[in-house]
Structures are given as structure tokens and as C-alpha cells.
Amino acid sequence: MLVKDIRDCSYFTAKDDSILCELLHPLREEGEIALRCSIAHARLPRGMSTLPHKLQESAEVYYILEGEGVLHVDRESTEVKPGRAVYVPPGAVQHLENTGDGELSFLCIVDPMWTAEQDRETEIY
């Protein structure tokens, strides 16, 4: 069994300008774990947006924990709020806006696991 506590995570500013901690990543755990996906906890301060980017080979699911925002995926947009999960297909241009009064907090589940090599900054459509 592997147990991780988000309160023990170290946060950093990611390439897309979100504040992120890798909660569970198969390549960063002690010992091998049989898991294809990575899970990160992300925060986006009030009034901020992530930079447009795409994951070349991986799908991503955003699961919103708190706050409100708008997630843009290619030419579509949807409002996000607590309890919503949004699937982002591989290769889709994505960025997230915090439109609420406080911080936007969410999980990023990436399958297969996130790697820096496949994460590309891009222009908005």
C-alpha cells in the first residue's frame, strides 16, 4: 500500500502557470508501482489563467475541488465548479481561467502519466 497526504506535498509553479504538486507519479515514488496515470493537485489564484498547452500522447481529466472557472479545450469551453470532471483528449489545446471570487483548486489526472517531453506550450485557437 502507498499512502500520500496532500499536506505533505511541495508546490511549485508549473510551465502553464498553475501552482502544482505531484500527488502521485509512478516515476517519482520509492519503488515501482503498477499505475499508468499521474495525479497532481493544482491551484489557480483568483483572476489568473493557465497558459495554453497540450499533451501530445496523454489524455487528462480535470476534477474540480473548489472555486469556479472556464476550461477551454480546442474550440470548446465549459464552466467548471466543484464536483465536475472534464476529459481532455490527447493533443487538444487547453487552458483554464479562474472566474470565481477565490482560488480554483482541482486534480489533474493524466493517462499515460505526465512527462515534460510531451507537454507543449501552444497558441489559443
Higher-pLDDT residue of 90, 120: 90
**Domains in the chain with CATH codes:** 10-121 (2.60.120.10)
Would you place residue 29 in the very low, low, confident or very high pLDDT band (cuts 50, 70, 90)?
A: confident
Q: How far apart are CA 58 and CA 75, in angstroms?
A: 19
Q: How far apart are CA 43 and CA 71, in angstroms?
A: 14
- Determine the pLDDT at residue 122: 67
pTM: 0.90
- The per-residue pLDDT for range 73-109, each reduced to its tens digit, is 999 999 999 999 999 999 999 999 999 999 999 999 9
